[in-house]
Chain A
Amino acid sequence: MIMTNDQNSFFANKVQEIHTNLLGEVIQSSDTIFELEKGANIFELHPFFESMQQELTSGHDNSLAFPCVQLDIDDRVIICDITIKKQREFLAILLFDYSTHYEHLHAAAHEKKTALLNEQAHDLSLKHNEERKEYSELVRESLKNKIIGQLEDVLLDTQKLCKTDLSKEQQILVTDIERTITDLHRKAKQIRDSLEINFN
């Protein structure tokens, strides 16, 4: 079966093969995606290649594959899969322009990750509210047992004291204590009640 011209060129237009020497100088390039001059240095073309320089110029023959790399060269951004084959004498680099495919994936990934983030935010918010409620209960219990209860005991004691034979100065002091404790008791109850309103 013979393919039509359109079919023939579909992948051909999306694949670029570049050969360089081990110094990174371009020996030949199909120039399908980016135009490269013979002798241009691949390691200066894009930081992707620059950061691979040591790996590609030393060591053994190697084959590396990098899916989904965003390359911005000469004001053009493409998303491609890159395969680099290191041979004894040269580097063979294959760029496969998958921009359209990855752009569709990008939209889906965005939607999925946004939904996941929203779900996590919702879970955290629920947990936060639960913990606030537990904490408010703890504070209310503490207020009731340690402060309000103690103040009530003191009030009872002052009332008992009032029934005894006190001097004028002692009466004034006990009345003053009673007034202060009553005021503190009222405020502590106010705090306890306001916690109930805030957290429930």
Chain B
Amino acid sequence: METGKKIVLLGQFGVGKTSLMRRFITNAFSNDYKPTLGVQIKKKVVILPSGKELPMIIWDLEGFSSVSKTRASYLIGSNAFIYVFDITRPITYYNLAEELEFLKTNYTKVLLKVIGNKIDIQDPIDVNTFLQTKSIYVDAFVSAKTGDGVQELFAEIAEKIQ
């Protein structure tokens, strides 16, 4: 089997990175909020439409106020970044343009996906319109709680980084 592909979940605290990982790995959700300290790492082997098995190793990082403050060693060898924001908390996407610029400049070869989480609470249409006025295009709006869009997101990433 191929060596695992490293996917790093980024974003401010409380946006649902751990819940997204849990939904992807075990298809479960918990309402309890327990902040991640440092990094936790989980692995899941996905089967691509071609039948190929692809191990995906998810690095769930502690939430931060700015991605530039993340320890660089955590990001080494990444195949994809998933930048997660909470559509119900503007503070988690107000500086999105700078955050994405930092990643695009410093990690040119790493696939980057921008994800709005918690669509079970709020319709993302206004947030999407607001971000589009700033030329920020969100790849997917998902709900870790209901599972909406989560498996599709990881399946799409798997296809692209295989």
Interface residues of A (CB under 8 A from B): 43, 46-48, 50-55, 64-70, 79, 102, 105-106, 109-110, 113-114, 116-117, 120, 124
Q: How far is the CB of B64 from the nearest CB of chain A, in Å? A: 12
Interface residue from A48, A79, A109, A120 paired with B35 (Cβ < 8 Å) = A109
Q: Scan B3-37; emit 1 where CB is below 8 A from any A CB, else 0.
A: 11010000001100000000000000000011101
Q: Are A53 and B3 in contact (CB under 8 A)?
A: yes
Q: Provide the bound-state CA to CA distance between A50 and B79, in Å.
A: 13
Given the known inter-chain contacts A50-B57, A65-B73, please indicate yes or no for A70 contacting B39, CB distance below 8 A: yes
Set of chain A residues within 8 Å of B62, measured between Cβ atoms: 68
Set of chain A residues within 8 Å of B77, measured between Cβ atoms: 51-52, 54-55
A51, A53, A109, A120: which has the most chain B beta carbons within 10 Å?
A: A51
Set of chain B residues within 8 Å of A53, measured between Cβ atoms: 3-4
B113 at the interface (CB under 8 A from A): no
Q: Provide the bound-state CA to CA distance between A25 and B37, in Å.
A: 30
Interface residues of B (CB under 8 A from A): 3-4, 6, 13-14, 33-35, 37-43, 55, 57, 59, 62-63, 71, 73-74, 76-77, 89-91
Interface residue from A54, A67, A114, A120 paired with B91 (Cβ < 8 Å) = A120
Q: Are A47 and B43 in contact (CB under 8 A)?
A: yes
Set of chain B residues within 8 Å of A105, measured between Cβ atoms: 37
Interface residue from A66, A102, A113 paired with B14 (Cβ < 8 Å) = A113
Task: With CB as the reference atom, state the residue of chain A lying closest to B43.
Answer: A47
Q: Provide the bound-state CA to CA distance between A102 and B43, in Å.
A: 23
Interface residue from B33, B34, B41, B63 paired with A48 (Cβ < 8 Å) = B41
Q: How far is the CB of A39 from the nearest CB of chain B, in Å? A: 19
A-B CB pair tally, cutoff 8 Å: 75
Interface residue from B57, B63, B73 paired with A64 (Cβ < 8 Å) = B73
Q: How far is the CB of A93 from the nearest CB of chain B, in Å? A: 14
Q: Are B76 and A55 in contact (CB under 8 A)?
A: yes
Set of chain A residues within 8 Å of B13, measured between Cβ atoms: 113, 116
Set of chain B residues within 8 Å of A43, measured between Cβ atoms: 3
Q: Provide the bound-state CA to CA distance between A26 and B137, in Å.
A: 46
B6, B55, B74: which has the most chain A beta carbons within 10 Å?
A: B6
Q: How far is the CB of B12 from the nearest CB of chain A, in Å? A: 10
Set of chain A residues within 8 Å of B59, measured between Cβ atoms: 51
Task: With CB as the reference atom, state the residue of chain A lying closest to B89.
Answer: A120
Q: Are B39 and A51 in contact (CB under 8 A)?
A: no
Set of chain A residues within 8 Å of B91, measured between Cβ atoms: 120
Q: Are B33 and A66 in contact (CB under 8 A)?
A: no
Task: With CB as the reference atom, state the residue of chain B lying closest to A109.
Answer: B35
Set of chain A residues within 8 Å of B42, measured between Cβ atoms: 47
Between A and B, 7 residue pairs with Cβ closer than 8 Å are: A50-B43, A50-B55, A51-B57, A67-B38, A68-B39, A110-B33, A113-B35
